[in-house]
Amino acid sequence: MRLTRVPEQFQDTKNNSYHVDAEFYDDLDRFRELFEEDWPHADIADWYQATGFLTREARLIDEGRFNDWLDLFAGDALYWVPVTAGGGEPRTEVSHAFDDHRRLTDRVYWLRTGLAYSQLPASRTRRLIGNVETIDDTEGLRLVRSSFIVNELRAGTAKTYTGWYGHVLNSDGDDWRIRMKMVNLLDSEQYHENLTLVF
Amino acid sequence: MPWPQGYADFDKTDFGLTKVSRVSSYRGFIFGTMNVDAQPLEEWLGYARPWLDYWIDRSPDGEVIVRSAAFRMGYRGNWKLAYDNAGDGYHPSFSHRSLLEMASRMGESKDMTYFGKTPDDGPMLAYSLGNGHSVIDQRAAHGDAPGNFWANQRPQPGRERFEEQIRAEHGEDAERLLDLAIGAQINLSIFPNLLIIGNQIQVIEPLGVDRTQLTWHATQIGGVPVTVNTLRMRTQEDFPAFGEPDDQANFEEIQRGLAAPEAEWIFMNRGLEVSGWQSSDEDGVTETAVTDELHMRSYYDEWQRRMNEEAR
């Protein structure tokens, strides 16, 4: 459901999730179909803007500025880390993360409690993003597809995660807000130890 | 096999894959053992069986569907740390402080907070069921009224709209349906490697003495609208994200601590010889406080008995 149609008492999406309805799930299907298509080369200005946005987002995560990172997300955002590569069927499958705005706010709060043993010490990460492509859909949403390598060091153990991101961005004045961030890990359905880092 | 003549004495049948000598199923759960002398499955399940029945029969048509992709979690610790944990009602207020603190972000939260409030005195109970099996029953913390499981659950994505829709379409039956989107409120441990927790089926696989894979299979159920199963998926993502990782971090810390030769023993005496906690029925099932470590002592007895048996 578009946020503009959400009843007044549910407008605060950090505490309510009225907008996550059948239509919300249908949108995910539509986004995923678009991500599977071949796209024409983007205009250089659009490409530059998309790359800049991803780079800034990556730096906020890598520097542990999770409140600032959370501010990048729209009220009807989804931070999605599927278990089934490519997404599977979220209506009947679980995901590593299927965070609406409320649960994503929870996640950031959780990371910052200082009480999560799985993040004591906190993960140090540094990521590289490349192969950026971008296109606008018919509703003016900007889709960005990229590949990532996330290096993590925590409690003396170094790990590497590889995969591709699918970002759907909403125009917000001169800037953009994240409507969906999909994180497709190469080994999403495999054995993982302590998957509490932010992708 | 290429050029078998190079082996003077070779019988292919000596080199086949190991056979699982006994395979039986109970209501769709398939169990296998290499032990040819194992007792019949239903006898071995024993007093765990009615609890497994309760869990399966929460599905209105008795159908539990395991089709979702699974969480394949792993930790650098012994498999017993997961089994210890599954039947323990003492650790949540400590190990899950991050989850409980997060849950309070939106004001009063009921989910799991009952573990932090005098859990020694009930109303939750634990049962040692024999054969190394045990169960924690958290249902009484919610009360009997339909809709209580739902009311106490931390909010899932889509909760408000889906609830409104289910109430509009199902009227008085809505409370029952909404409860089915929430966990069963029991932790059933079936020795040595099957854990039924909430709505998930967990299988423990030791990969080494200090490395374990814990696979969580999320479940749907038959006989309910798809909206209930979708909410059920969102509920089953909560604890694996914000609860279990802290447990597993604790397991790894315990494993490292156990490597210290100066401190050989783990103290698991909670509830032992404490007056008024334990009572046993004529079948030998022992009921006790949810914070009693009877679960651990019981399955260690079974483990030790089996490890001392002669292997065939």
Q: Mean pLDDT for each 10-residue chunk of chain A (199 residues)?
A: 95 96 97 97 97 98 98 98 94 98 98 96 98 95 98 96 98 93 98 98
Residue B312 has pLDDT above 80, yes or no: no
Per-residue model confidence (pLDDT) at position B110:
66
Non-local CB neighbours of A22 within 8 Å, separated by 6+ positions: none
Per-residue model confidence (pLDDT) at position B136:
97
Chain B residues 102-161 with CB within 8 Å of chain A: 102, 105-106, 155-161
Stretch B27-48: mean pLDDT:
95
Instruction: State how far the Cα of B148 lies from the Cα of B38, in Å rounded to an integer.
Output: 41
Q: Does B213 touch chain A (CB under 8 A)?
A: yes
What band does B164 get if pLDDT is binned at 50, 70 and 90? very high
Closest partner CB to A94 (pick from B161, B213, B237): B237
Per-residue model confidence (pLDDT) at position A112:
94
Per-residue model confidence (pLDDT) at position B310:
82
A-B C-beta contacts closer than 8 Å = 136
pLDDT in tens, B171-208: 999 999 999 999 999 999 999 999 999 999 999 999 99
Distance (Å) from the alpha carbon of B18 to chain A's nearest alpha carbon: 25
Locate A132 and state its tokens.
């950026």
Secondary structure (DSSP) of A50-106: HHHHHHHHHHHHHTT-HHHHHTTEEEEEEEEEESSTT---TTTS-EEEEE-HHHHHH
Residue-level length of chain A:
199
Distance (Å) from the alpha carbon of B248 to chain A's nearest alpha carbon: 8
Q: Do A93 and B233 touch (CB under 8 A)?
A: yes
Instruction: State how far the Cα of B175 lies from the Cα of A17, in Å rounded to an integer.
Output: 19
Per-residue model confidence (pLDDT) at position B185:
96
Nearest CA in chain A to B163: A18
Distance (Å) from the alpha carbon of B236 to chain A's nearest alpha carbon: 7
Q: Does B312 touch chain A (CB under 8 A)?
A: no
Closest partner CB to A16 (pick from B74, B160, B249): B160
Q: Do B69 and A189 touch (CB under 8 A)?
A: yes
Per-residue model confidence (pLDDT) at position B119:
83
Q: Do B237 and A95 touch (CB under 8 A)?
A: yes
What band does B113 get if pLDDT is binned at 50, 70 and 90? confident
Other residues' Cβ atoms within 10 Å of the Cβ of residue B237: 22
Instruction: State how far the Cα of B254 lies from the Cα of A158, in Å rounded to an integer.
Output: 21
Give strand pairing partners of A162.
Answer: A149
Q: Do B246 and A117 touch (CB under 8 A)?
A: yes
Other residues' Cβ atoms within 10 Å of the Cβ of residue B153: 22
Locate B195 and state its tokens.
């854990």
Distance (Å) from the alpha carbon of A46 to chain B's nearest alpha carbon: 32
Per-residue model confidence (pLDDT) at position B109:
65
Stretch B233-239: mean pLDDT:
97
ipTM for this model: 0.96
Nearest CA in chain A to B250: A117
Per-residue model confidence (pLDDT) at position B106:
82
Instruction: State how far the Cα of B105 lies from the Cα of B176, in Å rounded to an integer.
Output: 28
Distance (Å) from the alpha carbon of B39 to chain A's nearest alpha carbon: 33
Chain B residues with CB under 8 Å of A118 CB are 245-246, 248-249
- Give the residue from B126, B127, B96 showing the smallest Cα distance to B112: B96
Q: Do A92 and B229 touch (CB under 8 A)?
A: yes
Residue B50 has pLDDT above 90, yes or no: yes
Between B121 and B125, the more confident residue is B125
Residue B39 has pLDDT above 70, yes or no: yes
Closest partner CB to B72 (pick from A90, A113, A190): A190
Per-residue model confidence (pLDDT) at position B254:
95
Residue B237 has pLDDT above 70, yes or no: yes
Stretch B154-161: mean pLDDT:
96
Per-residue model confidence (pLDDT) at position B87:
97
Q: Do B69 and A93 touch (CB under 8 A)?
A: yes
Q: In whole numbers, what is the pLDDT of chain B averaged over residues?
A: 94
Distance (Å) from the alpha carbon of B1 to chain A's nearest alpha carbon: 33
- Give the residue from A58, A67, A65 showing the smallest Cα distance to A183: A58
